[in-house]
């Protein structure tokens, strides 16, 4: 694996004339326009030593220089919601009509037939290698944990998390349905997740006993000291209101752990006053949210031979305006739920800006793929460009948003501990043996 810089000091480096989103800096910097500041970044021993307004400190003679000439620099990217265990099954797990129901069926059949440790490992690591090459430093992945898969995937997950430490910080979430939470299995699963240092999760929809399921889920999490990460209301049914019930359950149970809710597509089709009341409860309960727009576009409002009208992206502006922590993430990659994707968080950001009009102004939205998910994951050294954090940076040639968001940024430079890594992507032919 082409990684340098860990375990030995790197030479001092100045990254000069870099545009950095103001929301990822700390201290007073002038806004050049578009929420961007022009700074010089000093790197020493693999960490950021100083961040100063451009030209305010002269460069010592003996240090290396990268002149960004106004190009943007971001901290390492953070992907808060993925499915690395499902990734890249698309060539063998056909979704015949592209709908959500067919995706569930295709993924279930593939899991039952093929998800051996070797199979999951090969696809999981392929995803990590793509993510690393694009500049990712931290990933949270959901892990299908319906029996007997949990006994295969969780030990493998623990092994890969250790093997990738120092390259990508990985967190795992147990993904099950209300059926597994209700059953005695729920207790065993919570034990396994706690032993494995994971997070407890569930898909929620309007099952008749939803409040009882949620009370059991919150009790299992509290008893085991676990945070929660849920797939919530991933549909365009305005009657899908489990987000509100989760907020009420968090308040009713006085839950002290963190709660993250993903998707929440149905908010986009509910009356504004109803969505607003739900978001007020979400804020009160201290719940964070993550939008997954690329996967929503693929699955929502799909019917054969008919052009989609409603696109399923959740209410990002309204969520942010209420002061709720909101991140953006990729969700699935080359599987029956989303046939495309390359584990590139910058692609997610670019698409989200276009889909949800996050550009008048872009403002603090770069934090949604860096600083905010790092905070939700409890990774204090990630997501910001400040003194003392590792010099794990993504350098772009392009300067302003109309440049950065117009191209895929395939020529970006990824620094880890201040040194460039090999950005070659693994080839899909590597996966041919798995089909
Ligand atoms: Zn998901």
Over residues 53-103, the pLDDT tens digits come to 998 988 777 899 999 999 999 999 999 999 999 999 998 999 999 999 999
Buried-exposed string 374-384: b where 16+ CB fall within 10 A, e elsewhere: bbbbebebbbb
- Tell me what pLDDT residue 361 has: 96
| Position 26 confidence tier, pLDDT thresholds 50, 70, 90 | very high
DSSP-based three-state secondary structure for 198:
coil
As a whole-number percent, the residues of the chain with pLDDT over 70 amount to 97
- Residue 421 CB neighbours (<10 A): 20
Q: How far is residue 68's CA from residue 38's CA, in Å, rounded to a whole number?
A: 10
Q: How far is residue 17's CA from residue 62's CA, in Å, rounded to a whole number?
A: 18
pLDDT at residue 16 greater than cutoff 90: yes
CA of 77 to the centre of ligand 1 (A): 18
Catalytic entry in 234, 248, 351, 381: 234
134: Cβ contacts below 8 Å, ≥ 6 apart: 77, 342, 343, 344, 345, 346, 412, 414, 423
- Mean pLDDT (the chain) is 96
CA of 13 to the centre of ligand 1 (A): 39
Q: What's the rounded mean pLDDT across residues 146-153?
A: 98
The answer to whether 381 is a known catalytic residue is no
CA of 83 to the centre of ligand 1 (A): 6
CA of 182 to the centre of ligand 1 (A): 21
Both tokens assigned to 350: 């670019």
Given the structure tokens 């860990």, which residue do they identify?
Answer: 6
| Position 117 confidence tier, pLDDT thresholds 50, 70, 90 | very high
Q: Mind listing the pLDDT tens digit for each residue in 300-354?
A: 999 999 999 999 999 999 999 999 999 999 999 999 999 999 999 999 999 999 9
Instruction: Tell me which residue of 142, 131, 222 sits closest to 175, measured CA to CA.
Output: 142
CA of 143 to the centre of ligand 1 (A): 10
Q: What's the rounded mean pLDDT across residues 176-187?
A: 98
CA of 332 to the centre of ligand 1 (A): 6
CA of 203 to the centre of ligand 1 (A): 9
């Amino acid at each position: 694996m082409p990684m340098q810089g860990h375990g030995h000091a790197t030479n001092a480096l100045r990254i000069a004339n870099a545009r950095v989103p103001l929301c990822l800096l700390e201290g007073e910097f002038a806004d050049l326009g578009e929420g961007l500041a022009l700074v010089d970044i000093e790197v020493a021993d693999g960490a950021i030593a100083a961040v100063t307004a451009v030209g305010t400190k002269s460069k010592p003679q003996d240090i290396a220089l990268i002149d960004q000439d106004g190009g943007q620099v971001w901290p390492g990217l953070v992907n808060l919601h993925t499915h690395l265990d499902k990734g890249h099954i698309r060539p063998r797990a056909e979704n015949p009509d592209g709908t959500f129901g067919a995706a569930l069926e295709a993924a279930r059949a593939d899991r039952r037939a093929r998800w051996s440790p070797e199979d999951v490992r090969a696809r999981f690591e392929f995803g990590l290698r793509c993510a690393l090459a694009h500049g990712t430093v931290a990933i949270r992945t959901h892990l299908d944990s319906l029996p007997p898969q949990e006994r295969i995937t969780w030990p493998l997950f623990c092994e890969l998390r250790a093997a990738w430490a120092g390259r990508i910080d990985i967190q795992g979430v147990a993904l099950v349905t209300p059926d597994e939470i209700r059953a005695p299995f729920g207790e065993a699963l919570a034990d396994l997740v706690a032993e494995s240092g994971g997070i407890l999760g569930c898909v929620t929809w309007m099952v008749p006993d939803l409040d009882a399921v949620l009370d059991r889920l919150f009790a299992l999490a509290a008893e085991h000291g676990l945070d929660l990460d849920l797939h919530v209301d991933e549909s365009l049914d305005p009657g899908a209101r489990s987000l509100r019930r989760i907020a009420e359950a968090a308040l009713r149970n006085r839950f002290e752990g963190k709660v993250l809710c993903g998707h929440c597509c149905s908010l986009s089709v509910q009356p504004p006053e109803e969505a607003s009341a739900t978001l007020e409860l979400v804020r009160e309960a201290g719940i964070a949210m993550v939008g997954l727009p690329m996967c929503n576009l693929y699955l929502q409002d799909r019917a054969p031979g008919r052009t989609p009208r409603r696109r399923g992206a959740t209410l990002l502006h309204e969520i942010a305006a209420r002061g709720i922590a909101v991140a953006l993430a990729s969700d699935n990659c080359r599987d029956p739920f989303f046939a495309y994707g390359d584990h590139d968080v910058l692609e997610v950001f670019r698409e989200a800006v276009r889909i949800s009009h996050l550009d008048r102004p872009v403002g603090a939205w770069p934090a949604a793929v860096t600083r905010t998910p790092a905070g939700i994951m409890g990774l204090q050294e990630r997501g910001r460009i400040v003194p003392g954090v590792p010099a794990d940076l993504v350098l772009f040639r392009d300067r302003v948003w109309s440049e950065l968001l117009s191209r895929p940024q395939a020529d970006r430079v990824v620094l880890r501990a201040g040194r460039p890594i090999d950005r070659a992507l693994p080839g899909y032919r590597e996966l041919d043996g798995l089909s």
